[in-house]
Structure 1
Amino acid sequence: MPRKNQHAIPHPEGGWGVKGAGNERFTSRHTTQSSAIEVAREIAKNQKSELFIHRQDGRIRKRDSHGNDPFPPKG
């Protein structure tokens, strides 16, 4: 399975979604941001990839590294 960075982003139909980088479709849809983050984090850990948490306006507010990077980004 290829490593794809995961994004917890606002869903266009309301709520929050989890979407792999480059994917057209959402992996899942959630009523809360925290629920979307939890799912996205598990996927990122399993794939050893990055997790990007977005604000309501779509901008990135936090990034977590779950890969093999010895110097992961902070904050």
Structure 2
Amino acid sequence: MSNPKDVHVVRHGDDWAARRPNTERVSKVFDTQKQAIDYGRQIAQRDHSELLVHNRQNQIHHRDSFGNDPCPPTDKD
């Protein structure tokens, strides 16, 4: 289940957009996926949430966590 503060980068017509989960309204629309990722990353870092980047088929391509990692790494020294 997605946190309401998470940021999704998704296709929006021929463009890319950043939006919150379970909303139809997008935060901002961009010409390129990279621009949308950069914007979404700033928002996710500010809100200590996750950035989920979708591909053209709307499948999650990758995700980055900024302070709210549900499965944090365990380092063993």
| TM-score, length basis structure 1 | 0.83
Q: Which runs of 4+ in 1 moved over 6 A?
A: none
- Deviation string 1:17-43 (CA, Å, 9 cap, x unpaired) is 000112220000000000000000000
Match of 2:65 in 1: 65
Q: Which runs of 5+ in 1 are unaligned?
A: none
Match of 2:21 in 1: 21
Q: CA RMSD in A?
A: 1.8
Shift of 1:68: 4.1
Letter in 1 for 2:46: N
Q: Given that residues 6 and 21 in structure 2 are in contact (C-alpha distance below 8 angstroms), is that contact kept between their aligned partners in structure 1?
A: yes
